[in-house]
A and B are shown apart, each in its own frame.
Chain A
C-alpha cells in the first residue's frame, strides 16, 4: 500500500464532534421518540440499548477502523481488500449522494420555516394551528396530486436550496479542519437550543400526559418480535452508518489515535440526544392533545408531519413567545440537518471522488455541490415530495441496510475481523474482545438483512406496493438498481491514483 499524505482532524474534540454531528440528524427528533411511543414506551428502550451495544457500536468501530487502516474513503477501503470488491465501496457512495440530494431540500424547508416563523406566517392561536397543514402542503410545497405531476420548481425553496449548497461548499472546501471546527460550534448550538425547547415544552399544560405516552413502559410488548425489529432498525438508521462517510471520517484520524472509545462516545452521545429530544416532542404532543381536546392517535408525532405540521401548530397555540420558539426550533433542525449533510457530501462522496480521480479538494467539492444541487431541483417541484419519499425508501432504507450488511461481511470474512480487532486494540482506550469478531461476521449483517426482509421487502412487494405509487414499488427497485450499476461503472473507470 502506497504511503499517502492524508488530511487530518485538528484534534480529538473536532473528530468526535464531527462524528456526533453526522450521527445526530432529523431522525433523532422525528423518528426515535415516535418509535419509543409506538413500541412500548420505556420498554422499547431495552432492545434499543441492546441493539446499540450489539449492532451499532461494533459497526461504527469497523467503519472508523477500516478507513484509518487504508487511509481512504469507502471505495479505497474495499479496493484495498481486493480490487474485485471496490464496487462494494462505491455502492454506499451512490447511496450517500442520493440521500444528500433530498436531505438538503429538507434543510431548505427548515430554513424557509425559520424565516416564516419570525412573522408566524401560518397564523397564531387556534386558527394558525388549523392552518399549519395547509400552509406546509399548499403554500410551502405547493403539492401536486402525485409523482407524475411534477410542475415547476417552487422558487423560494429552490433559492434556499441554492443557499444551503453555498453554505455547505464554504464549510467543506477547506476539508476536515474546518468541518471539525464548524461541527463543534453547531453541535453545541443545537444542544443549547434543544435544552430551551425541552424546558419550554415540559412547562406547558398537558406536557406530563404526553411524556407518559413516551416513557411509561409496557413490558408485555417485549415478547413480540416487532419491538426488537423496530429497535434494531432505529439503531441501524441513527448512527449514520452504511453511508460511506464514517470510513472517510476514520481515515482523517491520526494513526496512533484511539478509535474504539471514540465510537462509544459518539454512539452514546447520539442516543442520549435522541432520548432528550423525545421530551421536546412528547411534551408538545401532550400540549396539543389538551389544547385541541384530541386523542394521542390524532396527533402526527413522526416524520415530516411532526416537524412541519404538528410542531408549527403547537407553536401557534403557545401562550407567548411563539415566534422565538418557532425560530429556535427550525434553527435547531437547520443545524442538525447541516452537520449531517456535509458529512454525507464530504465523507460520503467528495473524499472518495478525490481519492479515485485525483481531483483537488476545491474542484471536487465544487463539482459535487453543483451536481447535487441540480439533482435536488427535482424535489423542489410540486411533485417533489412524492419522489423524495420514494428515493428515501430506496436508498435510506434498502441501500443503507444492504450496503452495511455487505460491508460487514466483506470486512469480517474477507479482510478478517480478528485482524481488524488487533489493529484497533493497538491504540484503543477500550479494548475489544473476540466477541466483536462474531458481531461483525454474523450478528450485524444478519440483523441488517432481517430488517430489510421483515420490515421492507415483505411489505413493499405486497399489492399496491410502497405507498401505492404507480400501483407497485418498481421505482424503488429501479432507483436501487441504478445505484448498484453505477457502483460497478465507477469501479471500472481507470484513473491514475489521486490524492497521493
Chain B
C-alpha cells in the first residue's frame, strides 16, 4: 500500500475509534432505561 493509503486508513480509524470512544464515555450521563 502507498503511504497515502496507509495514512488515510490510520486517520479514519482514529476518527471512528475516537468518536465511538467519546460516545461510550458519555453512557449513563443522561436518562435511564426504565419508564
In contact, B4 and A215 (Cβ under 8 angstroms): yes
Q: How near does chain A come to B29, taking the closest CB pair, in angstroms?
A: 5
Q: Which residues between 230 and 279 of chain A lie within 8 Å of chain B, taking CB atoms?
A: 254-258, 260-261, 264-265, 268-269, 271-272, 275
A212 part of interface (Cβ distance < 8 Å): yes
In contact, B31 and A258 (Cβ under 8 angstroms): yes
Inter-chain CA distance A268–B34, complex, in Å, is 26
A428 part of interface (Cβ distance < 8 Å): yes
Inter-chain CA distance A281–B4, complex, in Å, is 19
Q: Which residues between 7 and 21 of chain B lie within 8 Å of chain A, taking CB atoms?
A: 7-9, 12, 15-16, 19-20
- Are A254 and B35 CB-contacts (below 8 A) given A49-B15, A261-B27, A429-B29? yes
- By a CB distance below 8 angstroms, the chain A residues around B35 are 8, 254-256
- In the complex, how many residues of chain A place their beta carbon closer than 8 angstroms to a beta carbon of chain B? 33
Interface on chain A toward B: helix, strand, loop, or mixed SS?
helix
In contact, B8 and A216 (Cβ under 8 angstroms): yes
In contact, A428 and B30 (Cβ under 8 angstroms): yes
In contact, B33 and A12 (Cβ under 8 angstroms): yes
A427 part of interface (Cβ distance < 8 Å): yes
A430 part of interface (Cβ distance < 8 Å): yes
- Chain B interface bracket (under 10, 10 to 19, 20 to 34, 35 or more): 20 to 34
In contact, B4 and A272 (Cβ under 8 angstroms): no
Q: How near does chain B come to A176, taking the closest CB pair, in angstroms?
A: 13
- Are A212 and B28 CB-contacts (below 8 A) given A254-B35, A272-B16? no
In contact, A211 and B31 (Cβ under 8 angstroms): no
In contact, B8 and A45 (Cβ under 8 angstroms): yes
Inter-chain CA distance A265–B17, complex, in Å, is 11
Determine which of B12, B30, B34 lies in contact with A429 in the assembled complex, contact meaning CB atoms within 8 Å. Answer: B30
In contact, B1 and A269 (Cβ under 8 angstroms): no
The 8 A CB mask of A32-45 against B (1 = contact, 0 = none) is 00000000011001
In contact, B20 and A429 (Cβ under 8 angstroms): no
Residue of B nearest to A429 (CB): B30
Q: How near does chain A come to B35, taking the closest CB pair, in angstroms?
A: 5
A358 part of interface (Cβ distance < 8 Å): no
A467 part of interface (Cβ distance < 8 Å): no
- Are A272 and B30 CB-contacts (below 8 A) given A42-B5, A45-B8, A216-B4? no
- By a CB distance below 8 angstroms, the chain A residues around B20 are 265, 268-269, 272
In contact, A254 and B27 (Cβ under 8 angstroms): no
- By a CB distance below 8 angstroms, the chain B residues around A138 are none
Inter-chain CA distance A426–B30, complex, in Å, is 8
- By a CB distance below 8 angstroms, the chain B residues around A42 are 4-5, 7-8, 12
Q: Which residues between 374 and 388 of chain A lie within 8 Å of chain B, taking CB atoms?
A: none
Inter-chain CA distance A144–B31, complex, in Å, is 56
Residue of B nearest to A219 (CB): B4
In contact, B31 and A45 (Cβ under 8 angstroms): no
A455 part of interface (Cβ distance < 8 Å): no
Residue of B nearest to A255 (CB): B35
Residue of A nearest to B8 (CB): A42
In contact, B26 and A212 (Cβ under 8 angstroms): no
Determine which of A214, A257, A265 lies in contact with B23 in the assembled complex, contact meaning CB atoms within 8 Å. Answer: A265
- By a CB distance below 8 angstroms, the chain B residues around A153 are none
Inter-chain CA distance A394–B5, complex, in Å, is 36
Inter-chain CA distance A269–B21, complex, in Å, is 11
- By a CB distance below 8 angstroms, the chain A residues around B4 are 42, 215-217
Determine which of B9, B15, B28, B34 lies in contact with A254 in the assembled complex, contact meaning CB atoms within 8 Å. Answer: B34
- By a CB distance below 8 angstroms, the chain A residues around B8 are 41-42, 45, 215-217
- Are A215 and B28 CB-contacts (below 8 A) given A254-B33, A264-B23, A265-B20? no
Residue of A nearest to B3 (CB): A216
In contact, B23 and A426 (Cβ under 8 angstroms): no
Inter-chain CA distance A406–B24, complex, in Å, is 32
A208 part of interface (Cβ distance < 8 Å): yes
- By a CB distance below 8 angstroms, the chain A residues around B34 are 254, 256
Q: How near does chain B come to A187, taking the closest CB pair, in angstroms?
A: 15
Inter-chain CA distance A216–B20, complex, in Å, is 25
- Interchain residue pairs A-B with the least CB separation, the first 10: A427-B31, A42-B8, A429-B30, A215-B5, A258-B30, A256-B31, A429-B26, A272-B16, A215-B8, A216-B4
Q: List 17 A-B contacts (CB under 8 A).
A: A41-B8, A215-B4, A217-B4, A254-B32, A254-B34, A254-B35, A256-B32, A256-B33, A258-B30, A260-B30, A261-B26, A268-B16, A269-B20, A271-B16, A272-B20, A429-B26, A430-B26
What is the interface of chain A, defined by CB distance below 8 A to chain B? 8, 11-12, 41-42, 45, 49, 208, 211-212, 214-217, 254-258, 260-261, 264-265, 268-269, 271-272, 275, 426-430
Given contacts A265-B20, A272-B20, 17 further A-B contacts (CB under 8 A): A42-B7, A42-B8, A211-B1, A211-B5, A214-B5, A215-B1, A216-B4, A254-B32, A255-B35, A256-B33, A256-B34, A256-B35, A261-B30, A268-B20, A275-B12, A428-B31, A429-B26
What is the interface of chain B, defined by CB distance below 8 A to chain A? 1-2, 4-5, 7-9, 12, 15-16, 19-20, 23-24, 26-35
